[in-house]
Structure 1
Amino acid sequence: MIEANSVFQLPPHDHVFLGEDHEKSERRTWAVIVLCSVMMIAEIIGGALFGSLALIADGLHMSTHAGALLLAALAYTYARKYANDRSFTFGTGKFGDLAGYSSAIVLAMIALLIGYEAVARLLNPVPISFNEAIPIAVLGLAVNIASAWLLSGGRHHGHGHAHDHDHDEDLRRIELGRRILEIEVFEDNVPPRFRVRANTSVLPAASDVTIETIRPDGSRQLFAFKERDGYLESYDEIPEPHAFAAKVRLVQAGQEHECVLEFEEHDHGAAHGAHHRDNNMRAAIIHVLADAAISVLVIVGLLLARVFGWLWMDPLAGFIGALVIANWSIGLLRDTGGILLDRTPDPRMAEKVRMVIESEGDHVTDLHLWRLGPGHLGAIVSVATAGERQAAHYRQRLARFADLSHVTVEVQHARSAND
């Protein structure tokens, strides 16, 4: 039976769960707002003067992402200003997600408006001043590209990539004897295994290399290797979690060389990007990129209408643009809504937490995992144990997960049958 509960009491600590580049992102967002606002006014006025619905649609969408950027900038500013306000139980890290959710709702409404106007223009075409409309559309595309570049800080951001992963962050280089070996835990779309490469074209023999892992609970596992194309790979998969000391041995010219490496737990799956992603900046960047795609549609529609006399191409481009906006808004609503409702952001991380706790024979009776802000997760764990372990013990074991920024552990001690 359950005898007693104990909850680990934390010393006073802050609840600042903002992204690493919060202030830089805030400054970039304000700069792009100015740029987009100027272009927005030019496109709407130009579309009205020259009779181009597609140009007006592009200008309206420019206004929506100028508004979305304003929401993003205010969210950055407010979250930073009140980051230490204790009245926010789990900090202000979700303000960016709230801004993204609000932006998505506005976008959905604008998409409906543009779609309605596009259908009306398809039924009742109007003359278009191509010579004036096309250059403005090209300028709009240039502004969108410049905005995306500014928001990303000059870095490339590919839409659809769940995360940015530096494949060198877990690559360890060691010198054994006269060789330099590169050791890594490789798990890109395959079960995790050790891979070993050498600094020369000649690999050591597979039988000359072994790695022994030593985990915090004292358990050990020896890994032998086989030759692959240009590297050695361990026969066995590496069990989760990937937090251990790795004793690397190399036999060379009859002598044994040894080195110990420390591996810490990292989460490199797609969900890693989901809970590290700054949805405030993501919304701004994808919004601008979507607007750039619409600008391309505007230009194509205007050119075809001018060359072939297909006036219906212009409103068709506006209609397709409305579909693009609607699709983007739905995706953003889904992602930010899940965070605002405290949906588990990373099932893989939840499973790793469970495995770490239960590896010593205890049982996780309840587990809650939610996102506090970009790169920050909160966790509440209830553990049933027949031993004498206290909550501090489990908290220490969970400390290997750097993303767990706020952890509460409850321990339920089971009374033995003899008591």
Structure 2
Amino acid sequence: MSRFEDAAFGEGHDHIFLGAAHEENERRTWMVIALCSAMMVAEIVGGSLFGSLALVADGLHMSTHAGAMLIAALAYTYARRHATDTRFVFGTGKLGDLAGFTSAIVLAMIALLIGYEAVSRFFAPVPIRFGEAIPIAVVGLLVNLASVWLLSGDHHGHSHGHDHAHAHAEEAQRIFGNAGVFAVSIFEDDVPPVFRIKPETASSKLHADAVSITTIRPDGTRQTFAFADRGGYLESKEDIPEPHAFQAVVRLPDGEHRIEFEEHEHDHDDAHAAASRDHNIRSAYIHVMADAAVSVLAIIGLLLARAFGWLWMDPLAGVIGALVIANWSWGLMRDTGGTLLDMSPDRRMAENVRHVIEDNGDTVLDLHVWRVGPGHLSAVVSVVTRDAQRSPSFYHAALRRFKGLSHVTVEVNPTHATA
């Protein structure tokens, strides 16, 4: 008879899967709304008092800008206030992705409108009042730059956990032996670091049982690591304690090879960064960046049109701006849509979960890993084991090492139950 158990780790214990900077990003978004709203009121009132239609028009444009920010701000507020609402089975962490997807559609519509207007002006040019248009574009750019500065602190949404990769291909130590050429590296992908040995020549082959690494630290401490075959490379079964500065004695079938490892700065891993990214603040950031880009293009087009009489430069700048916004919109729509459809953002996490379980002699029947919020992944695992004493709690303990895995459901099937 199968047994299953549901568990949440760390911050996700109560199914609260909000991003690490949720409240800070919420405050930043409301600040941008206040800035845009103040600018909107100033432009509409000023334009009405001084009879400037261009100023009123830009004020109305700023109102759409504030409205787009409002989507992000309300999503943050609602997600925070309903984070413990049991009606949301996996919390409200994905509400930001829904808001981001909505913003992406709004951006796409804005790109279409700008493109349509720009193309229309190619065939039917309109007089441009440069004395008003250029200063307004400059003021709009300054407001957008201030908004970019307010939102730029965490628009990528990196988590502040231990989520970095030590070794890339160029940092690997290479061993040239009778069995071929091998790259030895320290790998860490949201898990405690491990050794990896990868053959670099077609004839290079190793059996895991015939390989080991012994680390010798400056204080004389030694530790020996056994290896498992991962299909294409070998990986140590034991974790490597910090710091990663030591001499490593690599034992291969042809003898021992000594290499040195030094501690390096850590770089964020792209896959984990994608899983941790806050798409709501990203959508707000893209909105202000798009507006800033359009302002820059507009200023350039207006200056060239006034200096050389090239009235076509203004609509050309509009077409370029529309294409840039459309490209950003598509990227945001693709990423947020993937999250809403439970597309796995980090395939390595699924691979690591599988390895941890199968290293214990069990078999993974089914495995699903998906994102439930910025920096939070959930997993459902079905395991077949020959050890009748292994309960779901055993696997929860083994998987607790994955810092980005906030929620795990495990089903255990003894072998006799599957026969």
Is the Cα contact below 8 Å between 2:118 and 2:318 reproduced in 1?
yes
Partners of 1:187 and 1:163 in 2: CA distance: 23
Mapping 1:2-401, distance limit 5 Å:
4-10=1-7, 13-40=13-40, 62-153=62-153, 185-187=166-168, 193-194=185-186, 221-223=212-214, 239=235, 243-245=239-241, 268-388=268-388, 389-401=390-402
- 1:377 alignment partner AA: L
Partners of 2:274 and 2:135 in 1: CA distance: 39
Partner of 1:199: none
Change (3 A) 1:102 1:163: closer
% identity of equivalent residues: 58
State the Cα deviation string for residues 27-59 of structure 1 (Å, max 9, x = none): 11111012123445667897xx77879x96x77
Is the Cα contact below 8 Å between 1:241 and 1:352 reproduced in 2?
no
Change (3 A) 1:107 1:168: closer
Partners of 1:79 and 1:22 in 2: CA distance: 9
Change (3 A) 1:52 1:354: same
Change (3 A) 1:287 1:238: farther
Partners of 1:240 and 1:37 in 2: CA distance: 57
Q: CA deviation at 1:194?
A: 4.7
- 1:378 alignment partner AA: S
State the Cα deviation string for residues 243-286 of structure 1 (Å, max 9, x = none): 444697679xxxxxxxxxxx9xx994211111111111111112
Is the Cα contact below 8 Å between 1:5 and 1:410 reproduced in 2?
yes
Partners of 1:304 and 1:242 in 2: CA distance: 64
Partner of 1:414: 415
- 2:167 alignment partner AA: F
Long gaps (5+) in structure 2: 173-183, 188-192, 196-210, 217-226, 228-232, 249-262
Partner of 1:256: none
Partners of 1:250 and 1:189 in 2: CA distance: 19
Partners of 1:224 and 1:268 in 2: CA distance: 25
Q: Normalising to structure 1: TM-score of the pair?
A: 0.73
Change (3 A) 1:339 1:81: same
Q: 2:91 aligns to what SS in structure 1?
A: coil
Partners of 1:26 and 1:274 in 2: CA distance: 20
Partners of 1:270 and 1:212 in 2: CA distance: 19
Change (3 A) 1:189 1:351: farther
- 1:239 alignment partner AA: E
Q: 1:366 aligns to what SS in structure 2?
A: strand
Change (3 A) 1:336 1:316: same
Q: 2:368 aligns to what SS in structure 1?
A: strand
Partners of 2:301 and 2:318 in 1: CA distance: 9
Partners of 1:42 and 1:126 in 2: CA distance: 26
Q: CA deviation at 1:63?
A: 4.3
Long gaps (5+) in structure 1: 171-183, 196-210, 214-219, 226-235, 252-262
Q: 1:411 aligns to what SS in structure 2?
A: strand
Is the Cα contact below 8 Å between 1:366 and 1:383 reproduced in 2?
yes
Partner of 2:202: none
Q: CA deviation at 1:65?
A: 3.6
Partners of 2:348 and 2:293 in 1: CA distance: 34
Q: CA deviation at 1:329?
A: 1.2
Q: CA deviation at 1:112?
A: 1.4
State the Cα deviation string for residues 289-320 of structure 1 (Å, max 9, x = none): 12211111000000010001011111111222
Partner of 1:228: none
Q: CA deviation at 1:242?
A: 7.8
Change (3 A) 1:223 1:163: farther
State the Cα deviation string for residues 190-246 of structure 1 (Å, max 9, x = none): 667259xxxxxxxxxxxxxxx998xxxxxx942579xxxxxxxxxx98827884446
RMSD: 3.9
Q: 2:380 aligns to what SS in structure 1?
A: strand
Q: Normalising to structure 2: TM-score of the pair?
A: 0.73
Partners of 1:67 and 1:212 in 2: CA distance: 48
Is the Cα contact below 8 Å between 1:212 and 1:221 reproduced in 2?
no
Give the length in aligned residue pairs. 351
Partners of 1:166 and 1:24 in 2: CA distance: 14
State the Cα deviation string for residues 321-362 of structure 1 (Å, max 9, x = none): 111221111111111000011111111111111111111221
Is the Cα contact below 8 Å between 2:215 and 2:247 reproduced in 1?
no
Partners of 1:99 and 1:242 in 2: CA distance: 42
Partners of 1:385 and 1:61 in 2: CA distance: 62
Partner of 1:206: none
